[in-house]
Structure 1
Amino acid sequence: MRGNSRMFKRIGLIGLGNMGRGMALTLKRQGFEVVGTDVAITTREALSKEGISVRETIGEVVAECDIVLLSLPTAAIVEDVVTGSGGILANVKPGLLVVDTSTSHPETTRRLAENLRRAGMRMLDAPVSGGPKGAITGTMAMVIGGAKEDLAEAEPVLAAMTAKRVHVGEIGAGHVAKIANNLFAAAHLLIAGEVTRMAEKAGVPTEQLLQGINAGSGRSFITEHSYPTWIMNGKFDSGFTMKLMRKDVRLSQELISALAMDLPMAAKVAELWALSAQSIADEEDFNRIVELGTRDQA
């Protein structure tokens, strides 16, 4: 039961935290009706006050919608939402399209997609980049894994909440690409922190250094965007925490291990992010990693 001509008007959303809230409000602004739920009562109440229809259970959301988005912090929570008591599989709705926007493990995604398929439902993995600001403004980027026909059906919804979407392969491919993206970001932040400290000690202020780097081949999102937006001004308020990035870096190591590969640079990045837990708290902004090694010296 595909129904590619179906137009989704009511969108289910499970997980109404920083990212889910932004997605819900963006979709509402684009003319969709959003029905959401979250494990936290206070979060549900807050979204209700912002005009989002909220429900207490996953089953209620599934019953009312033909497409359900997931915005959840870990692969384990995604699995519980799909397979757990009261989850999606416990409330089977043939033809339902589940779109996981979380950063999760590709093997978990493939297993869940197969379980959903056997129950007559479908899945796309479509993790997002852009943080809470991108979610609330509809400017996120999305890497997507899954069947082309399912993506075509979901396209109007995904287009309403993102600025760019790239279909990278079959189910699970989206999460491989997102893990790769976040490993890059984790590595870029580490080296940027060291390079800027090196230049400062050699007499070149960070602002001038980055002007030069951003005109050359060393530039990255970190040097062009993260430094002026969150780091140099001391704001450190991107909305993405150290805890979440540490989790994503661990996901990269799990994937590398599953592929039986030896990637020493990736291993060193993971080692340093794990080490950062000794000096940078979980709840702090992930850009704080540029300060690794400096706090003990202060």
Structure 2
Amino acid sequence: MNESKLIGVVGLGKMGLGMANTLVRAGFAVRGLDLSPEACQVARANGIDVAEDLSELLSGASLVVLSLPNSKNVLALVEGDQGLAKLAGKNTLVVDTTTGDPKLTQQIAEILSKAGMRYIDAPVSGGPRGAASGQLTMFIGGDADDVQQAEPVLAALGTKRFHVGHVTAGQIAKLVNNLLVASHLLTASEAFKMAASAGVAVEQLIDAVNAGSGRSGVTLYNYPSRIMNEAFDSGFTMGLMRKDVSLAVDLIKQSGLQLPISSKVGDIWKASAATLSDGEDFNRIVTLEDTAH
């Protein structure tokens, strides 16, 4: 194992495992860690070296990729006597691909900085398929020198990488992206329901919309590949999108803004929990009978 190129990956779910496999293909030595025995078993079956604990994961690793459900999980990993801030060596570079809370992200960055470590927030878009193929879109926040040092790893993971500013800028950019996706799913759904009630099916309409100014990522990709064929297999869940929309709404409130449309989008996604479980594909939001309530 080439220790000089050893990358630690914490979180071996669908996204983390896909990224770990991608890094191996790119020539990096990878050591993973996950609290779930099942996830560790799957990772080992994929040929990933899995550590027994965080100390073993960090041994020889100068860069650690995090892929966890939320910022609270990241904070729990970082804090404490057995946390990342205590166990990792100085100048260890942390690339956090978790989509999370900008305020907690700032707190995490400050804890690691005090420990002599460096931190980049780099939440991703593209789902498990993008992670497995190295074709993620990455929204990156952090010091320019740190981003430059992480570039070989970032380039292996994402074909589209955008350094949008300081630490937390990546999280903010990702929340903007997901708030737009969440909104577009609702407006496209209502527009297509309107057309259907007037006698024009989505199959007749989709190409025309996508050639016109009303198109969006939702009409270009989600509808043809996930919704119209009823596949609903993006790998991104209702629970995760509800979390991201809630974080976006919280950011709006923290900013003191009054944004009624975004607030209504937040209300609809929150209320959808009554009929669409967290584990359902997020595109199923278009199946809500009435998005007006």
**Superposition deviation, residue 63 in structure 1:** 2.2
Note the aligned Cα RMSD (angstroms). Answer: 1.4
SS of the residue corresponding to residue 282 of structure 1 reads: coil
Q: Which of 196, 210, 215 is matched with 1:219 structurally?
A: 215
- Alpha-carbon contact 1:13-1:69 (below 8 Å) kept: yes
Distance 2:263 2:276 in 1: 20
1:85 deviates by 5.0
Residue type matched to 2:73 in 1? I
Q: Which amino acid aligns with 2:222?
A: S
Contact 1:79/1:108 (CA < 8 Å) preserved in 2?
A: yes
Q: SS at the partner of 2:289? A: coil
Q: Equivalent residues in 2 for 1:196-235 (5 A)?
A: 196-235=192-231
Match of 1:271 in 2: 267
Structure 1 segments unaligned to the other structure (5+ residues):
1-6
Give the letter for the 1:66 counterpart: S
Task: Measure how far apart 1:158 and its partner are.
Answer: 0.6
Give the structure 2 partner of residue 58 of structure 1. 54
The match for 1:104 is: 100
Deviation at 1:64, TM superposition (A): 2.7
Deviations 1:32-52 (A, max 9, x none): 111010110110011011110
Kindly tell me: are residues 260 and 33 of structure 1, through their superposed partners in 2, closer, same or farther at Cα, counting changes over 3 Å?
same
Could you tell me how far apart the structure 1 residues matched to 2:244 and 2:201 are?
31
Q: 1:270 corresponds to which letter in structure 2?
A: G
Deviation at 1:240, TM superposition (A): 0.5
Change (3 A) 1:52 1:154: same
Superimposed CA distance per residue, residues 221-257 of structure 1 (whole angstroms, 9 cap, x where no aligned partner): 1000011111111110110100000000110011111
Three-state SS of the structure 2 residue aligned to 1:214 is helix
In 2, the alpha carbon distance for the partners of 1:8 and 1:122 equals: 18
- After TM superposition, the score normalised by the length of structure 2 is 0.96
Question: How much does 1:86 deviate?
Answer: 2.4
Q: Unpaired segments of 5 or more residues in structure 2?
A: none
CA contact (8 A) 2:4 2:60 kept: no
Query: 1:190 & 1:253 partners in 2: Cα distance?
Result: 16
* Alignment match, 2:240: 244
**Residue deviations 1:107-159 (CA, integer Å, cap 9, x gap):** 11111111111111000000000000100111110010000000000001110
**One-letter code of the match for 2:6?**
R
Share of identical aligned residues, percent?
Answer: 49
